[in-house]
Structure 1
Amino acid sequence: GLTLTASNTITEGGSIVYTATLTNPAQTPVTVTLSNGAVINIAAGATTGTVAVDTPANDVYNNGSTVSTTITGATGGNFESLVPSTAPAVTTITDSVDATTVTLTATPTVNENGIITYTATLTGADGKPVTAQNGPVTVTLDSGKTITIAAGASSGVLDVAVGNDVYQGPTTVTESIKDASGGNLEAIAPNTAPASTIVSDVDDTTTVTLTATPTVNENGTITYTATLTGADGKPVTAQNGPVTVTLDSGKTITIAAGASSGVLDVAVGNDVYQGPTTVTESITSASGGNLEAIAPNTAPASTIVSDVDDTTTVTLTATPTVNENGTITYTATLTGADGKPVTAQNGPVTVTLESGKTITIAAGASSGALDVAVGNDVYQGPTTVTESIKDASGGNLEAIAPNTAPVSTIVSDVDDTTTVTLTATPTVNENGTITYTATLTGA
């Protein structure tokens, strides 16, 4: 009889050794033909012969297999009858694990709002492309995104939209491979070297807008807030340094690095005039914060300042001394709580004196005067003329408090001659009466 045996197990890329064995030694050479086309020669006088058959070359795929071979024919040996066994010789071919490298590349440069194309490529140890087999390879990036390499392909791509920021200078976007699997590959080794893309600037405008406390009382505080926003209306933060916002008044607001707004508190004064006032402020310019372009929103921010009533005092003064026949000048003066002059606004202030006379303080003025002529008498010694304020109103003032202290003027004598004249009854009879009359008259 004739039987066939083979190597039980080999690694892919190795050789299977087939052995043909005779029950009795051959008297002449025997030729054994196998089902795989190989031929085994058994020499005369021998009972066995061998042949080595190479298996397919080593590859990167999961493809362990079993090879079954039989004898298809045998001749020679001078045997009366040579019957080959039909039992197959079976060999198990096991995989040798070969790593396939997956490498990531990226578009080297793009503009803001552009597209970065990431490409994952499979290569073998020889650097040649390797294709996915029996299914795709899934490549997971550090960002969590995935690239699919389809079955039959050696690479796959992923397009990623690049955002657009408002900051100066190019930025670098970096991505790398975290892991990869699939494609019937024995082992995939990620090349974790990062792929970088430089994203060039496309100038974007950041708007800075001013708001203010809508209403405050006199002596209160207005808080001005400057806020940075992008084209989408969302807050933008200053970067690598502050933004300086300059107001029409010359004041400045600082928006610190890392912040999207800054504030400025401005104390409100207190005036003596009636009615609320409106304080308006706006932005003239802004710079800094590493922003590509800052556009000031120049719309004014207004604050209504409500009245807190303040009293204005009106005080009367007079010429201290005059001669008879002279003129006394009365002056009414407006002052605030700080003693400083206050001007009438939007109309005059009318000051009424106890004598009924009036002094007018014109709009825009803080005082008014009244001249009063002094008479002349014939009597000895100076006289004193006294006047005071009764009330006052007008000038758009919140409240006017008359200083009612009297003011006095000494009127000095100017000597005047009085004539005394004698008259008598012009005619009388004897034994009658003469009447003499002495009469005083002025000049």
Structure 2
Amino acid sequence: TTINDSVDTTTATLTASPSVTEGGVITYTVTLSNPAQTPVTVTLSNGQTVTVEAGKTQGSVDFQTPANDVYNNGSTVSVTIENATGGNFEQLTPNPTPAQTTISDSVDTTTATLTASPSVTEGGVITYTVTLSNPAQTPVTVTLSNGQTVTVEAGKTQGSVDFQTPANDVYNNGSTVSVTIENATGGNFEQLTPNPTPAQTTINDSVDTTTATLTASPSVTEGGVITYTVTLSNPAQTPVTVTLSNGQTVTVEAGKTQGSVDFQTPANDVYNNGSTVNVTIDKATGGNFEQLTPDPTPASTVIQDSIDPVTVSIVSNGNVTEDQQPVFTVKVSQALDRPLTVTLSNGDKVTIEAGKTEVEYKAAAQGDDVFKDPGSLTLGVTDASVPGATFEKLEFGSPATVEISDTISEVVATLTASPSVTEGGEITYTITLTNKDGLPINNPSDLYFKLTDGTNIVVAANSTTGSATVIAPDNVYVGANAPVVNAIDSVSGQDAWKFE
């Protein structure tokens, strides 16, 4: 009897590890619904082959998933049976249901690190560079704390952006700039993490000079005020202190370019001492400038004299007699700070002491005599000077006069005669001129005396005496003659009237 097969189906079903982590192994298992009588070969859609040995219902094969990476590439893998042969089955049919495995990402971190130009000069450019620890699969956008954005293109690990620092200036504002990554997205990374370390750049000052220039009132009158002004070529950020060569200090306030100070010149005086005053800047500090340099040019001011007159005068202290000294007072119109030497018209000099306004001057007395010689003494000022200075305007007063009057002094003309003579002898008559004290005097010109008997006697000029001789009476009688009496009867001469 022939026993014919009834075609019974044996099913080959494929299963797989339900999930693995990237880089892990998927195990594919083929399960037969009946034990195989001969080996069964199953070809999978991924190209692998699974063998179910005779007498068994299962066979397996392992599949190595792609190595672990940093990208978001987790997936589901589906594999089916493409062909199944062997096992001596009436009908071996593959189950078409795919065997699915979820491949999970292992989360690996990609770091975005920010670096920057280590130093630049103010006004320069800082370059910020973002470096990824793995190449980006898609563009990465990085936002910086300064508001800028850096893009790292797909397939690259770096991207950069330039930052313009503030323009160069004159102030001390060198600094360190710190910038960090605030956010980073893209690149298809499993995890993109910003490195929190800031990128630091030192901004160095380029040394620019600010100049402090001193100016002054171009001219003032003595006793006036000089204003000194300091001008900065740039506004000060903090107060600037400027020391001048005259010891004064000028302050320029923060935010300003100028400051001033007043200088009181010496008080007005009477001397020629106009001058030019030069002041410079000794030192300047402050203002937060990179470099503050004083201009060495002096500020010059002409101090002009105000013309103040000084009058030197002389006055009489009153009239005198010929036996007294004429007295004058020499005056100056204001007290001076140094002695004033005054020259009089007679050549004499007097000194008015510093701080005083007058001095007394005594001339020599004319001298008491017997002549009618009243007179006067007139003196004026011819010069005046002080040590170490000259006057702006020196004026002299009018001359002064002292009237000198006579003292009435008597001149005595004394007649003497030979006390006795022999009759017929010679009698000598002598006239002697004396003053009130009996001292002899000289007459200025010849004097002619006439005696009562008619005899003439001449006292010659510049002489004190004069004589004449007459013959005594003579007769024939015994006995002495009567005494001869004579006297001065009159006097005459060119200058006889000059005697007091």
Structure-1 residue corresponding to 2:34? 24
Q: 1:245: which partner in 2?
A: 242
* Partner-residue secondary structure (3-state), 2:139: coil
Cross-structure match for 1:103? 113
Match of 1:44, SS? coil
CA contact (8 A) 1:31 1:42 kept: yes
Distance 1:249 1:269, change over 3 A: closer
Query: What SS does the aligned partner of 1:192 have?
Result: coil
Q: Secondary structure at the match of 1:60?
A: coil
Aligned twin of 1:368:
395
User: How far has the Cα of 1:293 moved from its partner?
Assistant: 3.1
Q: How do 1:4-403 residues align onto structure 2 when only pairs under 5 Å count?
A: 4-123=14-133, 130-140=134-144, 142-162=145-165, 164=168, 166=170, 172-199=176-203, 202-209=206-213, 226=230, 228-229=232-233, 233=234, 235-237=235-237, 244-247=241-244, 249-253=246-250, 263=259, 265-266=261-262, 268=264, 284=281, 286-289=283-286, 291-296=289-294, 319=315, 321=317, 324=320, 328=328, 331=331, 333-334=333-334, 364-365=391-392, 368-376=395-403, 378=405
Residue 99 of structure 1: how far off its partner (Å) = 0.9
Is the Cα contact below 8 Å between 2:136 and 2:188 reproduced in 1?
yes
Contact 1:64 1:93 in 2 (8 A): yes
Unaligned runs of 5+ in 1: 124-129, 274-278, 342-358, 381-439
Deviation at 1:223, TM superposition (A): 7.6
Separation in 2 of the partners of 1:87 and 1:280? 113
Name the SS of the counterpart of 1:376 in structure 2. Answer: strand
Which amino acid in the other structure matches residue 249 of structure 2?
T
1-side partners of 2:291 and 2:247: how far apart? 21
Q: Give the letter aligned to residue 57 of structure 1.
A: A
Aligned pairs, number: 356
Cα deviation for residue 80 of structure 1 reads 1.3
Is the Cα–Cα contact under 8 Å of residues 206 and 236 in structure 1 kept in the other structure?
A: no
CA distance in 1, matches of 2:313, 2:88: 163
Q: Does the aligned pair in 1 maintain the 2:315–2:400 contact within 8 Å?
A: no
Q: Structure 1, residues 235-271: CA drift from partner, whole Å, max 9, x if none?
A: 3436xxx855243644333569x88768554365696
The TM-score normalised by the length of structure 1 is: 0.60
Cα offset for 1:79? 1.0
Assess, with a 3 A threshold, how the Cα gap between structure 1 residues 187 and 6 changes in structure 2: closer, same or farther. Answer: same
SS in 1 for 2:193: strand
Q: Can you list the C-alpha shifts for 1:165-203, whole angstroms capped at 9, x where unaligned?
A: 546798654444344232222222222334444555543
Offset, 1:220: 10
Q: Provide the identity percentage.
A: 45
Q: Report the CA distance between 1:78 and its aligned residue.
A: 0.9
Distance 1:365 1:211 in 2: 29
> What is the distance in 1 between the residues matched to 2:132 and 2:236?
42
- Are the counterparts in 1 of residues 241 and 250 from structure 2 also a CA contact under 8 Å? yes
Q: Which residue of 2 aligns with 1:422?
A: none
Larger displacement relative to structure 2 (29-38 or 324-333): 324-333
How far does residue 26 in structure 1 lie from its aligned partner after superposition?
A: 1.6
- Distance (whole Å) between structure 2 residues aligned to residue 196 and residue 212 of structure 1: 48
Check whether the contact 1:329–1:371 (CA below 8 A) recurs between aligned residues: no
Contact 1:319-1:328 at 8 Å conserved across structures: yes
Judge conservation of contact 1:318–1:328 (CA < 8 Å) in 2.
Answer: yes
1 or 2 for the larger relative contact order (CA 8 Å, sep ≥6)?
Answer: 1
- Give the letter aligned to residue 157 of structure 2: S
How many angstroms apart in 1 are the aligned matches of 2:215 and 2:401? 62
What is the rounded CA distance, in whole Å, between the counterparts of 1:213 and 1:38 in structure 2? Answer: 106
Amino acid in structure 1 at the alignment position of 2:103: I
Q: Distance in 2 between matches of 1:95 and 1:18?
A: 20
The answer to whether the 8 Å contact 2:311/2:397 transfers is: no
